[in-house]
Amino acid sequence: MQRRDFLLRISAGAAAGLAATSLGSCLSQPENPQNTPVDFTLDLSQFPQLNRTGGFLIKDNVLVARTIQGDYVAATVICSHEQQRKVVYDDDKNQFHCTAHDARFDSRGKGLNSNGKRNLTVYNTQLNGNDLRVYS
Ligand code: FES
């Protein structure tokens, strides 16, 4: 085997290995919660951050926030753009915001810019006394 042929085979193998690694990392992305049912209840006496407007918490990849108006909203923390877990609640604008690439969504999950065009999965909330149910 010529040295040139040997080097070509090595580089082809390296490219195949790189492709397999990239594919593997794609496959290990976090599960998209759009297909995962959500149903849990929070005792608000245990979560003071939800007793003030603009406060939020994250449980099981679900962000639960209290809006300036005093309502509760919930959405996945996994962004629809590139599936990063970087969605937060921006109380100044009453929007969900992904800090990775600035995707923005209204409180109903509707995308507000190009990185948010796939919308965001949101969940229902229901307050019964001190219990806040979050469900899909
Ligand atoms: S991953 Fe959220 S904006 Fe890109």
Burial 100-110 (b: 16+ CB within 10 A, else e): eeebbbbbebe
98 lines ligand 1 (CB under 6 A): yes
Residue bearing the CA closest to ligand 1, atom 3: 101
pTM of the prediction?
0.75
81 lines ligand 1 (CB under 6 A): yes
User: Could you give the CA distance from residue 121 to residue 22 in angstroms, rounded to a whole number?
Assistant: 26
118 lines ligand 1 (CB under 6 A): no
- Give 86: exposed, middle or buried? Use CB within 10 Å, 0-12, 13-18, 19+: middle
Q: What pLDDT does residue 33 have?
A: 52
82 lines ligand 1 (CB under 6 A): yes
* 13-34 average pLDDT score: 43
Q: In the numeric block, which tokens belong to residue 38?
A: 């959500």
- Model pLDDT for residues 29-53, shown as the tens digit of each residue: 444 456 789 999 999 999 999 999 9
CATH architecture of the domain 33-135 equals 3-layer Sandwich (2.102)
CB 111 within 8 A of CB 101: no
Q: Which of 88, 97, 98, 114 should be mutated for ligand 1, with most atoms under 8 A from CB?
A: 98
- Enumerate the domain spans of the chain: 1-30, 33-135
